Every structure is written in structure tokens, then in C-alpha cells.
Structure 1
Amino acid sequence: MPSYDFVTVDVFTKARFGGNPLAVFPNAAGLSDEQMQAIAMEFNLSETTFVLPPTNPRNHARVRIFTTRTELPFAGHPNVGTGYVLATQDPNPPEHYTFEEIAGPVRVHVQRDAMGAIEGSRVSAPHSLNIDVAAPTAVVAACASLTESDIVTTSHDPLVASVGTPFVIAEVVSPQVLASARPDLTAFRHHAHAHPELGDLKLLLYTRRGETLTHLRTRMFAPLTGVLEDPATGSANAALAALLVSLAPGDNVDLHFEIEQGIEMGRPSLIIASGRKTAEGPVEASVAGTCVPVMRGTLTI
């Protein structure tokens, strides 16, 4: 019976049992689609990644990302964590990896601390910002068990935005309102059916922390993809950073956001998300964070 080694890491944290846990299979060649999905269900984490040989030898690996229910085209915390795991297992890691994913090539930059030890990675989103349809404020409020007055529409209406994976992004009035939000599965199911243009209704709520515009707190609910709430969502926060940069005045803007997530879940996370726009081109985004190793083992199929 074939066996496969795995590693788990906590992503977007410097403290074990914080951040967003991830399972990584560094050598997953031979596993079928069905086996990968079953393994992700067994681990029951937000995502599990499977590293395979690249299709193009110029790239470093093909990486597949599974939630407990489905495969994702791109996600932030799985790429941050997978890049960290591969770099720590490589006696001479490169400065960056290029992963082949459904959304396209993903560039993952290895990050080191002041002593030169590998501590995490930074992921460049595979696509520039794409802003799609607006989402009715009433839909967002119902799905999050809030009132319409809890949703801020001064800067933008709730809308679907993506830099690789689409999310409904909405601002709420305060950290207290954000903390009071609760995903309503019945509302998610109803409104996903009534509003197919919103996709599977992955909902990112955010608010400002204090007076600064670049210190944020977020929560992400995606019960229709098997994630009732996520402790740290790199792809969603990258899209948020890109969206806010797109709305910022000026043609040349480069902003870095310190984003807290997972507070309400008891898994505090810190995500560094960046967005950049120029007069000549689209808005690009990246997301970075530190990782902590937790477990390693072998799974026999």
C-alpha cells in the first residue's frame, strides 16, 4: 500500500495553534482526484495542498488545493504555507517558486528573518484585480446575520472582486459589528440560488482598526464550500487590498495593509496584503505571512 508524507503548518502567525492550519503533501504523485478530495475531507481543514511534478519543467511544481468539498483555482494561505514547507525541506531553496495552478502560474517568494532562517513566504496573485457585479446590501446582511445599516457603502457597495478567486467584499461599520456577525447557512443557500451571479457566495467582511486606513480586521464566511468561517484568507484579503488601492486617489499607488483575521475564532492571524496600481496598468496584489510547523506524519492509502 502506497504511503505519503505530510506536514501541517499554521499560516499567518508566529505562534503555534494560531493562524490558519494547512496540511501539505510535498510528494503527492500517484494520488487520484478522488483520493485528494477524500484526504482533504479527512484532515477537515480549510485547505489541503498536494504538490505534483510540474507540467512545464521551467516551473517548480504543480500545486492542487482542496477544501473539504471542492478544488480551488487559487488560494492565499495554501500557497504561503506550501512555499514555506518546500523551502524548509530544500537544502538550497530558490528565492522564489513558480507553482502551476488552475488560476494560472503563481509566484511564491521565500521570506527569511533577520538571521536568515526561512519564516514564511509572499505570494503574488495570479491575476490583476477584477471587479464584477454588485451584491445587494440586503443579501450580505442576511448571510451575516446583520442589518442593512451595519453595512457601509460610502466607499463602495458590496461587490464581487477577485485576483484569482472571487469573493463578495463588504465593509461593516465597526469592529464590534464585525465581531457580532454570524453566518446564516439558510440565507447563504437561498441567496446563492436567487443570485447565481454571486457564485458560491464567499463573503469577506472588513472594518478599519483605529483611524489608519491600512490597519484592517476581516472575517470570511464560505459555508457553501465547506468553510463556515476561515481563520485567515489570503486570496480574499489580497482582493481586498487591490480593491482599496483601486479606489485610492491618484494614478500611482502602492499600499501595504496589516490585516487581522481569526480573532473571533481564537486563532489570531496577521496578513500583510499589498496592492499596487499605475496609470499604465491594472491593479496587482500580493499577500505575505509567517508560518509555524506543527505536525508531520505518513498517510497510507
Structure 2
Amino acid sequence: MSTTRRFSQLDVFTATPLKGNPLAVVHDADGLSDAEMAAFARWTNLSETTFLLPPTDARADYRVRIFTPGGELPFAGHPTLGSCHAWLAAGGVPKQAGQIVQQCGVGLVTVRRDGTRLAFAAPPLKREPVDDGLLAQVVDALGLPPADLLAACWLDNGPKWLGLRVANASRVRALAPDHGRLKALAKVGLVAAQDVDGAAGTQFEVRGFAAPIGVEEDPVTGSLNASLAQWLIGEGVAPPAYTAAQGTAMGRAGRVHVQRDGDTVWVGGDVAPCISGQVLL
């Protein structure tokens, strides 16, 4: 039997609705099966849909399950910020003032208020080298001139991305990949230092091609930006604080605000509410 549940849809990593990455949030999701959650995520056809539940860890304020049209993720960035915003807007009160603790597939993730924004602590990053043969196939499927590739690395903080550092931000914005080929290879995230044609006030341009999870391109990707930040700052390629633009090629204006504080990299962004209502599930 269907139950009426609170429903929110938000735009994440933007203060302007329709310019970020949309997220659907189902509140009070107790009683929904895995299959029902997956079916609803396919129906919304957004890059992610989340389901808010009571925590099973006493240290957490709430628990979230994160689904793409292709299945469940242990962690993702824009669903973390959007779900936290929705939980607070629905009257959620954190155990500790100024800090919210989310329980998800990777464990506990801390979210803090960063002025008017929320920011999550990037989960631990695992890095692995990339097989040369696979890398060559990915570069070819992207239509990226090999000379423009500066570095490549597998980046894993729950979701696993093939991270590519590219020499030219204009090239990154102009790419028109063969998504059919990419789907069989990897989720691919590209980053390049910003150029004079890029968005003012940003230091990097990012794109995330995520065909294996059911979307060809993700408008703005928190998990990818978290991994890229840990990689780039760790290598001395990026400063300890910067802003990245993502979604430009899709007509979006996503802004991801990165700051390293001690050993923790915080990934923040604005959230713009768009829809508030109820859903029968």
C-alpha cells in the first residue's frame, strides 16, 4: 500500500534554481524496499535521488540512501549537501550545533555550515594507477588529444572515477564524447586550470561523464570534486582553497567551493529549493 511522504526537489551547487544539479529527496522513507527506491530513482531520471531514514548509528543525525537510475551509491557529494539541506528544512535538529553527521554507505560523513553554505568533509581517498590500454581507449572516446592529457589516476572515495588532469580548460568545455563507448569503460572526471574564457571567480573547470551509472554527464559532482581536490592539493597543483566551475557545457553554472582545513578537505556549495510537496510511495 502506498504511503504519502514528504518530498523535496532542490538544485545543488548553485544559489540560482535550474543552474546546478537537481536532487530528489524522499523524507520518512521507512518501509520502502530496495526495489521501490530503485524504481523511484529510475522514474525521477535525475542523476541521484535520496531517501531519508532514521540513523542506525547513535552518532548520526540521519541516514540517507543514494540511488542513481542505474543503482545505489555508497556516497555522493551533491546528494549529501541536498539531503542535509532538506533534512534541516524539514525541522531536523543536529545533536551538535553547527555540525550535522550523515550516515550513508561509506559510514559517517560530517557536514558543517560554511556561512550560508553547507560543506561536507571529503571521505578518505584511495588512488590507483591507470592501465595504459584503458587510458588510451578513454582518451580516444573523449576525443581528447593525447598531448592535452597531463596526468591520470583512479580516484575512489565511494564512487570510483577515472580522474584526468587536462592542460586546456577550453578543450574540456568543448569535448563531445562518444558516450556509448565511455559507458563500457569508466566514469570519467576531467579538470583543467581555468582560462580567460572561463567563469569569473573560478580557478578550475570540471566535467564528469558518468554513463555507467545511467547519466551521460553529471551537471555538478560533489564526490568527483572532493577526489579531485584531494589529488590536486596533495600534488601541489591547486591551492588550499579554490572554486571550481562545472556544468558549463550543459548550460549550468555549478560552483564548488573547496577548502583544506588541516588534514580535512571541505567541499561546499549553495542549495536552491525548487519543489516542496508530497509523493505517494
State if a TM-score over 0.5 links the two structures.
yes
Amino acid of the structure 1 residue aligned with 2:53: L
Which residue in the other structure is 2:113 paired with? 110
Are the aligned partners of 1:242 and 1:274 in contact in 2 as well (CA < 8 Å)?
A: no
Distance 2:62 2:76 in 1: 16
Query: What whole-Å deviation, never above 9, does each CA across 1:134-157 have from its counterpart, x for those lacking one?
Result: 253423312312221232x2xxx2
- Output aligned runs, 1:85-96, within 5 Å: 85-90=86-91, 94-96=97-99
- Output aligned runs, 1:60-209, within 5 Å: 60-90=61-91, 94-113=97-116, 120-127=117-124, 129-136=125-132, 137-151=135-149, 153=150, 157-190=151-184, 192=185, 201-209=186-194
Which of 255, 273, 281 is 1:293 aligned to?
273
Where 2:137 maps in the other structure, the secondary structure is helix
Which residue in the other structure is 1:117 paired with? none
Q: 1:286 to 1:165 in 2, by over 3 A?
A: farther
Q: Which runs of 5+ in 1 are unaligned?
A: 114-119, 193-200, 278-282
Amino acid of the structure 2 residue aligned with 1:159: C
Is residue 261 from structure 1 mapped to residue 241 from structure 2 by the alignment?
no
Amino acid of the structure 1 residue aligned with 2:226: A
> Deviation of residue 286 (structure 1)?
2.2
Is residue 219 from structure 1 mapped to residue 207 from structure 2 by the alignment?
yes
Amino acid of the structure 1 residue aligned with 2:166: V
Distance 1:275 1:169 in 2: 20
Q: How many residues align?
A: 272
Which residue in the other structure is 2:14 paired with? 13
Distance 1:254 1:263 in 2: 22
> Deviation of residue 60 (structure 1)?
1.0
Amino acid of the structure 2 residue aligned with 1:26: H
> Deviation of residue 34 (structure 1)?
0.5
Are the aligned partners of 2:10 and 2:272 in contact in 1 as well (CA < 8 Å)?
A: yes
Query: What whole-Å deviation, never above 9, does each CA across 1:95-128 have from its counterpart, x for those lacking one?
Result: 2221111111111113443xxxxxx31101232x
Where 2:270 maps in the other structure, the secondary structure is strand
Distance 2:156 2:259 in 1: 14
Where 1:227 maps in the other structure, the secondary structure is coil
Which of 227, 235, 252 is 1:247 aligned to?
235
Are the aligned partners of 2:183 and 2:210 in contact in 1 as well (CA < 8 Å)?
A: no
Distance 1:22 1:255 in 2: 28
For normalisation by structure 1, the TM-score amounts to: 0.84
> Deviation of residue 254 (structure 1)?
7.1
Q: 1:260 to 1:189 in 2, by over 3 A?
A: closer
Amino acid of the structure 1 residue aligned with 2:40: I
Distance 1:125 1:231 in 2: 19
Distance 1:299 1:84 in 2: 19
Query: What whole-Å deviation, never above 9, does each CA across 1:14-35 have from its counterpart, x for those lacking one?
Result: 1111111001112111111001
Where 1:107 maps in the other structure, the secondary structure is strand
Q: What do you get for the CA RMSD once the two structures are aligned?
A: 2.2
Where 2:240 maps in the other structure, the secondary structure is strand
Are the aligned partners of 1:48 and 1:67 in contact in 2 as well (CA < 8 Å)?
A: yes
Tell me the percent identity. Answer: 33
